Structure formats: C-alpha cells, structure tokens
Structure 1
Amino acid sequence: MEKRLGDILSEMYKSAPEGYKVTYIHLFGIKYGEEIKRNNLSVKGILAHSKVKPSFATEVSKGIKLSKYVSTNV
C-alpha cells in the first residue's frame, strides 16, 4: 500500500505546475490522509517509494492533518 501511495505522490509531484510542487504534496496528504491514518501507514515509507525528497515528510504530514477539515474533488 505504501508503494502504491508513493507512486501516486511521485506522479502528483511530477505533474504539479511550476511553483506548486509543495502545494501538491499538501494536496496528496489531504486526498489520501484518511487512508494513510486508517491503515497506519508510514509517511517515511511512502516517501521512500516515491521520487520525492524524504525532507518533505513534514509537508505530507501537514496535508494529512488538514484532511480532517478539507475535502477535495481533485
């Protein structure tokens, strides 16, 4: 499951418009936060399977926290 999410994160990061890379990392956390929490997945594990720098773990975590308050149609 972490590999699948890592692949999704990698694709979202790669497809983000210039200047929106970090925003798309937050969006990933918002979109998949409930799944990550429900399955007790590791953000570091997800990042290890992605092509995103491990230092972005804090940004993914911010998105996961926001997922409780924000919904998305993306």
Structure 2
Amino acid sequence: MKFLDWYVKIAVVSAAIGGSMEYFMIKTGFYDKVTVLEAEKKAWENSPEAQAMREALNPWRKLDVDERKHS
C-alpha cells in the first residue's frame, strides 16, 4: 500500500471531474434534449418510410429470404 495516497487523490479528482460534468449537463438541459432526440429517432425508425428505406437499401434482402426458406 505504498501508493495508497496517490490512488485516493486520483479517485477524488476523477469523481470531482465526473460530478462537474454531470452538473453541467443537468444545468444546460442536455438530458432533456437527448430524450427528445431519442424519441424522434425511435418514432422515425418505426415509421413506414424508414422501413421502406431500410428494405430498399438492403442489397441482401433476397438472400436472407431464401436462406430462411431453406432452413
């Protein structure tokens, strides 16, 4: 336990930096913005337009269907 004080100092400084980052994100409304963006992203991913785009952009869609039929 030769360097215990060094590890304690690193842990305290790391906790202080992490706490200050969390405080900054809460005060600036970061979590509210992220929640809205994630809800919009999930709504878009479940929309018919996104599903059609996903199917159109998947060049292996025919191979996947064929493999499922054979297995």
- TM-score between both structures, scaled by the size of structure 2: 0.24
More helix by share: 2
Higher alpha-carbon Rg: 2
Task: Output the TM-score relative to the length of structure 1.
Answer: 0.23
Higher relative contact order (CA 8 A, sep 6+): 1
